[in-house]
Amino acid sequence: MASSGVGARITASVDFVEACLLRAWPGNVRELLAEAKSAALAATSARRARIGASDLDDEAGRAHAPAPASAAPAAPAQVEAKAPEPGAIEAALRAEQGNIARAAARLGLSRSRVRRFIERQGIDVTTLRSG
């Protein structure tokens, strides 16, 4: 898969391919392709030439799938322990001109987690994007 850089190439690691194969992808192949492109962007913004399973959004390929019966919800204390400092999400978004994937990579969080923080904090990402 070619990255957005001129002449640059990015490859998928075995763990990325395995992670993709283990998901249902109820949104079909278009969902898979969109997530692979997002993962490539995340790896590229982190200056890596290889996509890893960690670049795949936590909810990718599972968005429409029912939750497994054995899945236990995360304890609230665990969720709060990983919360970034106040203002960190907005600062990262400003630094990355509103690009959620790059801001997430900067913070060491998944894109879906950053999106949830954006919603909770009411951040208007469109005002941070370069026109």
What is the chain's mean pLDDT, rounded? 76
User: So what's the pLDDT on residue 14?
Assistant: 92
User: So what's the pLDDT on residue 51?
Assistant: 92
pLDDT in tens, 49-68: 999 888 888 777 775 544 45
Q: What is the DSSP letter of 3?
A: -
Selection from 23, 10, 22, 93 nearest residue 52 by Cα: 10
Give the helix ranges, DSSP H, for the chain: 14-21, 28-45, 76-81, 88-95, 100-107, 111-121
On the question of pLDDT at 78 being above 50, the answer is no
CA distance 110 to 14: 20
User: Which of 27-36, 74-83, 90-99 is the least confident region?
Assistant: 74-83
User: So what's the pLDDT on residue 80?
Assistant: 42
- The SS3 call for residue 115 is helix
On the question of pLDDT at 127 being above 60, the answer is yes
Mean pLDDT (whole number) for 100-111: 85
Under 8 Å between Cβ of 60 and 23 = yes
On the question of pLDDT at 83 being above 80, the answer is no
On the question of pLDDT at 77 being above 60, the answer is no
For the chain, first and last CA: distance in Å?
28
Mean pLDDT (whole number) for 10-34: 85
CA distance 110 to 115: 9
User: So what's the pLDDT on residue 50?
Assistant: 92
